[in-house]
Amino acid sequence: MLLQPSDILILSNGPGELATWVRPVVKSLRQLLGNDRSVYRISLILSPCPNASGKEVEIAESYPEIDRIQGAENFFSFLLTGKTAQNWDWRKNGVVLFLGGDQFYTVIIGKRLNYRTVIYAEWDARWHQWIDRFAAMTPKVVVKSPQKYADKFTVVGDLMAEVQEDGEMGRWGDGEMGREVELIGLLPGSKPAKLAQGVPLTLAIAQQIHSLRPTTKFIIFVARTLDIQTLVKFADPQQNPIIKKLGWASAELVFFPESKQYFLKTESGLDVELYTEFPAYQLLSQCRLCITTVGANTAELGALAVPMFVLLPTQQLDAMRSWDGLPGLLANSPIVGSIFAKLINWLVLKNKKLFAWPNIWAKAEIVPELVGKLQPEKVAEMILNYLEHPEKLREMSDRLRAVRGRSGAANKIAQILQEEIGR
């Protein structure tokens, strides 16, 4: 039977969705449908996202399974006119897959292209009457939807769970270090406002822990959208005034030619390795715990069941600007954005809410969220308590594992797309 040439259009937005949703799905699609681009072509169109770094296209270009990519800056013109910036052609047969953004975009674009539509519904499914299929993370999504649309749903499991099976084996897994090394991961963020606090604060915490546990190793997982030279600036007191103001740790960049590794050396002599490979799931999985800021990091660590401490220092209230909707637009607006950010963050912090994704999923504080004018000594003391009582870390890991769904979602979504293309 001659296969009809078809287009698969994926809609997504932020770096977290690209790494944990798009990446496993396009891999599964190519494994199932093959690599003949004359038969199946995969396109990715990004929509604006408050958590975007500006390097989403670069990230997507590293996925060889994708044939065409359009950045978020051209999204709304495409939504309104149906034309991409490069005036892509569209095959008669196709399917639109939602993997991040606003689910309503799937409705509009599906109707415009006359394509079948599929939504990956992590927590909620919307626009039931206009969407052809829903790939639900858990049965709860189906239960919350009108019963008359139940036949549109397939429970596929958790795309985030795919990260447990992805990535290359980390260097700490075998070799001279061995699995008995106590490794602590530091994830200070990817944007300047977070890095200004996150880098010197996490380094100061690491120094405190290392002074009492000198065999513990620390590693900074450099964000995919960040380069080492930019990161280092936030450890330099000449370029980051927060360090002198708050007395947090500074460090200088050192390079070891024999191992071809970069480290940040703090004033106490602690060497913190900078790890830039992506994805880093296998190495993250070997961390006893991680110290992170809010954001997609917490979702990935949660999916890996890695215990974590989530830091929200309020010494610089305009650091958090990644809110959704109108608050996000106001906080990121030019000139007055900083004022709005401080006001919004003050209101949010005053009315205590959950920030880490695993806690949001569970509607309970599974992982500690430390909010306020954080002091490195106090934070280190709390972390040391967990390190000295490993049963607490095991309990946290078990609860993280329980709150997510089963793996295998990417393959099931690929099968759904194959079925829809056949229709």
Q: Are residues 116 and 230 in the same domain?
A: no
Three-state secondary-structure class, residue 186: strand
Is-cis flag, bond preceding 15, omega within 30?
no
**Could you give the percent of the chain with pLDDT greater than 70?**
85
pLDDT score for 330: 47
Q: Tell me the chain's radius of gyration from C-alpha atoms.
A: 22
Whether 1 is covered by a domain: the verdict is no
DSSP 318-387: GG-----HHHHHHHTSTTTHHHHHHHHHHHHHHS----SHHHHHHTS-SS-EEEES--HHHHHHHHHHHH
User: Looking at the predicted structure, is the pLDDT value of residue 320 above 80?
Assistant: no
Name which residue leads in pLDDT, 387 or 339: 387
The pLDDT, as a whole number, for residue 97 is 98
Lowest mean pLDDT among 83-97, 161-175, 355-369, 376-390: 161-175
Give the residue with greater pLDDT, 13 vs 259. Answer: 13
pLDDT at residue 289 is higher than 80: yes
Whether residue 414 sits in one domain with residue 376: no
- Specify the pLDDT at position 179: 45
- pLDDT, residue 162, reads 73
pLDDT tens-digit series, residues 22-47: 999 999 999 999 999 999 999 999 99
Q: Within this chain, do residues 283 and 413 fall inside the same structural domain, yes or no?
A: no
Is pLDDT at 263 greater than 60 in this prediction?
Answer: yes
Domain membership of residue 370 as a residue range? 171-403
Indicate whether 265 pLDDT > 60: yes
Question: Quick one: pLDDT band at residue 351, thresholds 50, 70, 90?
Answer: low
Q: Both 127 and 254 in a single domain?
A: no
Instruction: Return the closest-CA partner of residue 234 out of 271, 184, 285, 191.
Output: 191
Is pLDDT of 409 > 80?
yes
Q: What is the mean pLDDT of residues 181-203?
A: 92
Same-domain pairing of 334 and 202: yes
- Domain annotation covers residue 308: yes
Q: How confident is the model at residue 327 (pLDDT cuts 50, 70, 90)?
A: very low
Question: Which is higher by pLDDT, 56 or 10?
Answer: 10
Q: Quick check: is 202 in a domain? A: yes
Domain assignment present for residue 58? The answer is yes
Query: Quick one: pLDDT at residue 91?
Result: 96
Answer yes or no: do 283 and 356 share one domain: yes
**pLDDT top residue among 84 and 259:** 84
**Residue burial 235-248, b: 16+ Cβ < 10 Å; e: rest:** bebeebebbeebeb
- Residues 191 and 270 reside in one and the same domain: yes
pLDDT score recorded for residue 314 = 79
User: What's the pLDDT at 297?
Assistant: 86
328 found inside a domain: yes
- 166 falls within a domain: no
- Comparing C-alpha atoms, which of 173, 212, 242 is closest to residue 383? 212
What total number of domains does the chain contain? 2
> Could you give the CA distance from residue 192 to residue 190 in angstroms, rounded to a whole number?
7
Say which CATH number the domain at 23 has. 3.40.50.2000
395 lies in the same domain as 418: no
Are both 119 and 46 inside the same structural domain?
yes
53 — pLDDT class (breaks 50, 70, 90): confident
Tell me the C-alpha distance between 314 and 318, whole Å. 9
- In this predicted structure, what is the pLDDT of residue 171? 36
| Residue 120 forms part of a structural domain | yes
Provide the mean pLDDT of the chain: 86
| 259 in the same domain as 199 | yes
- 103 and 51 inside one domain: yes
| pLDDT at res. 350 | 61
Task: Say yes or no: 25 and 146 in one domain.
Answer: yes
Pairing of strands 271-275, 261-266: antiparallel
pTM of the complete model: 0.70
Span 84-142, pLDDT tens digits: 999 999 999 999 999 999 999 999 999 999 999 999 998 899 999 999 999 999 888 99
Neighbours of 148 (CB within 10 A): 9
Whether residue 165 is contained in a domain is answered as no
